[in-house]
Structure 1
Amino acid sequence: MRPDILIPVIALAASPVMAQEPCGDMPAETTEIAEARLIIEYNHTDGDIGVHGYGDDDGWSELCLFDPSGALVLHVAPRAQLGELGLGSFFFESREPPEEVWDYAALKAAFPEGDYPVRAKLHDGTGRRGIARFTTLVPQPPVITAPALVEDEDEEAPIVPLADLEVTWEPVTASLDDRTPEITGYELIVTDEEYEDPDGFSKPELEVHLGPAATGFTVPAAFLRPDTLYEVEVLALEASGNQTIALGFFATDN
């Protein structure tokens, strides 16, 4: 494994020089952080895998994440006016190199399973502690059975009717390493690939969370436009938060 593809440390700070060790002056008395997560997302169709993280509390000014050995893997420290205001929540995604240079085995070797401690200091000087529990149990990808799809948006996409379009998939019963996942649900995302809004968030997207027994969903005809390319994604969601994506493209008829 080449060292340039490893993702061992993420550090975010406006100032290039830290006056002290990251999170080195945390208050002695702390309470539980509101939320801390560290998960794996595997995109089977695109052939990439990475780590996602999320943290949340009431206006913190510094946050650190450590791996099970105690090594610092993430330090977030806003500065100047943003530091005084404090952050309420944040989300990050690691880089996701193609599988030929960074695959599931490489991720498992770099990110051991276990408890990843979180320490944070709030804008008022109070402290927070928590644990992001991390596992490498990743679901196998859902197999989308309908509609007919292509995996590349530049290919000629199959044409589907606007009415009664049902997206269906097979239930996921295994993980990438042959363990038995606890599937807590599925997520369906249908996105209009031709709508343009480069600086905003108005791109039409249908996102539905369904229970673990779901194997299909009918897309409302009112959501779809005629003669338009759409991306459909089905995500298998595991109890750990880890998730696996299968996707493809279709086009609507006139």
Structure 2
Amino acid sequence: MAMRKICFLLILMIAGVVLVAGSLGGTQVNKFVYNAQDKDTLSDEPGDITGDVIPLKDTKLIIEHNAKDKDTGFQCFIDSEGWNEITVTGPGGKVLTFKGEGQLGELGLTELFFETVEPANADVPIPEVLKVLPEGNYTVMGSAIEVGERQGTTMGTAWLTHNIPKGPVLLLPEEGDSVPLDDLLVRWDPVTKTLDGSAVNIISYQLIIEKDETPHKHMIGKRGLSMYLPASVTQIRIPTEFFEPNTNYEWEVLAIEESGNQALTSSNFRTGDV
């Protein structure tokens, strides 16, 4: 799992947000989580369109593969003007439903990001993981709401493929290296193939460098940098001012292919004296 993220493990229960699991599972957490096959728990069946249709601002459904840890899972991102219930449906049927209840549900929610558990490939082979969500278009639809007022139906689609790129091979710095406190060159090999050996169209690399630390309790992430680079760029210099002396850093590179699926490789290094 990438260092920058908090894995929700398909359980999202923050300030009145209810996850209703579908084909990805129906784990019950107190009274807030219900199996999506129990139709009585949903206000509208998937496919019901009421009022105006408001397009979602963004919908993404992708696969992430960790080449170092050798695990694989799904991620989803949704952005809208406001919703309080939203359902993802695909070629295999209902995937899951999110439902907002309580004060924030009445206000309305906008962005939503979640990722599934990422089972080790040795325990659950990648082909078995991919059976959970078949390739194809996924419909994301729900109740639009803004400041407590129903606005109709919000709707969008996400395209999922099973094209998973190989993880980048990190070249510099090597794992565990002690590097001088100068402008640091980070470099990796370009990714040209998928895990099954097919040609792949990489559209971007994401570089992340973070200080190896326990973040402040009120910070979501660690101190560091994250940048998206063109697919033609496989090396870049990081200015000296970014680093602290005698400090451990973690870094990773994600290769992102044209449908959004991504594979990452991570490593670490330590800076020297001033």
- After TM superposition, is the score higher than 0.5? yes
Query: Which residues of 2 match residues 1-254 of structure 1 at below 5 A?
Result: 8-9=23-24, 14=32, 18=41, 20=43, 22-23=45-46, 26-27=49-50, 29-69=52-92, 71-123=93-145, 124-149=150-175, 157-194=176-213, 196-201=215-220, 203-254=222-273
How far 1:172 moved relative to its partner?
0.6
Q: How far apart in 2 are the matches of 1:57 and 1:125?
A: 12
How far 1:77 moved relative to its partner?
0.6
1:56-76 CA distances to partner (integer Å, 9 max, x unpaired)? 11111110001213x111101
TM-score, reference length from structure 2: 0.81
TM-score, reference length from structure 1: 0.87
Please list every run of 5 or more consecutive structure 1 residues that lacks an aligned counterpart in the other structure.
1-6, 150-156
How far 1:10 moved relative to its partner?
5.5
Whether contact under 8 Å (2:209, 2:249) holds in the other structure is: yes
Whether contact under 8 Å (2:88, 2:138) holds in the other structure is: yes
Whether contact under 8 Å (2:23, 2:94) holds in the other structure is: no
- In the TM superposition, structure 1's runs of 4+ consecutive aligned residues that sit over 3 Å from their partners are 10-17, 19-26
Whether contact under 8 Å (1:22, 1:64) holds in the other structure is: no
Q: How far apart in 2 are the matches of 1:103 and 1:135?
A: 17
Whether contact under 8 Å (2:67, 2:167) holds in the other structure is: yes
One-letter code aligned to 2:80: D
How far 1:141 moved relative to its partner?
0.8
1:59-112 CA distances to partner (integer Å, 9 max, x unpaired)? 11110001213x111101100211111111100010112121123211222221
Q: What's the C-alpha RMSD, in Å, of the aligned pairs?
A: 2.2
Q: How far apart in 2 are the matches of 1:116 and 1:225?
A: 45
